Chains A and B, each alone.
Chain A
Amino acid sequence: AQSVTQLDSHVSVSEGTPVLLRCNYSSSYSPSLFWYVQHPNKGLQLLLKYTSAATLVKGINGFEAEFKKSETSFHLTKPSAHMSDAAEYFCVVSRTGTYKYIFGTGTRLKVLA
């Protein structure tokens, strides 16, 4: 069975400070992991994905995530937050090569001026 836990439902940071959104996963198999972003009243956009290649994954808009198998984590980071980063972020796990995707419950990021 697979599951994903986003450890914070809300995160607030000041503009220009680092962002850390935490995600832990559980998977009996080799997982594929994703981060998606959803801006208000918009669809979902892929930020980055891990599919068993490099453990440090770089995505769009300066985001990156590190796959840590020993900690079963896939935390999303960004060195410096921008106002435009305010959105909801979803961590997603899938068993590589299958058709089912499990979404976390989301983390709403607020960026303060």
Chain B
Amino acid sequence: GQNIDQPTEMTATEGAIVQINCTYQTSGFNGLFWYQQHAGEAPTFLSYNVLDGLEEKGRFSSFLSRSKGYSYLLLKELQMKDSASYLCAVKTGRRALTFGSGTRLQVQP
């Protein structure tokens, strides 16, 4: 079976740094994606990791450890517009993604 775990909710302060963790146990692994989803909107792609290590893209970074089945998304210099749900997804097979339930991040002033 497939199991992807993320915290349900997190709260952080504007200007701060927040780390959103994702652990996975899947029958296959062909890469891990992070998506951002604002309420009532479509998920939008943030990052992709397939090799161990850190991928940096502006204020957002994503880390992967395949041996530990672990990833995190790091958001720096938080802004109010970063309030959204963050979805961790593993490409487990041919082309489809298996998603975690998402982490709802609330950024406070």
Do A and B form a real pair? Answer: no
Measuring CB to CB, which residues of chain B are less than 8 angstroms from any residue of chain A? Answer: none
